[in-house]
Amino acid sequence: MGREEKMQALIQYSKKLEPLPDRFKDLDLGSFTVPECQTRVDIIPEVRDGRMYFYADLNVRQSPTIAAVLAIIFGAVNGEPPSTTLGIPGDFVSILMESIGLAAREPGLNAMITRLKRYARDAEAQVARG
Quote the domain boundaries for residue 97.
Answer: 3-129
pLDDT for the residue numbered 101: 65
pTM of the model: 0.88
pLDDT for the residue numbered 71: 93
Total domains present in the chain: 1
Q: With 70 as the cut, is the pLDDT of residue 99 above it? A: no
For the stretch 57-79, pLDDT in tens is 999 888 888 898 899 999 999 99
pLDDT for the residue numbered 78: 97
As a whole number of angstroms, the distance between CA 124 and CA 39 comes to 29
Q: Residue 62's domain is classified under what CATH number?
A: 3.90.1010.10
Tell me the β-bridge partners of 46: 53
Tell me the β-bridge partners of 80: 52
Q: What is the mean pLDDT of residues 17-33?
A: 92
Among candidates 96, 55, 70, 53, which has minimal Cα distance to 15?
70
Say how many Å lie between the first and final Cα of the chain, rounded: 47
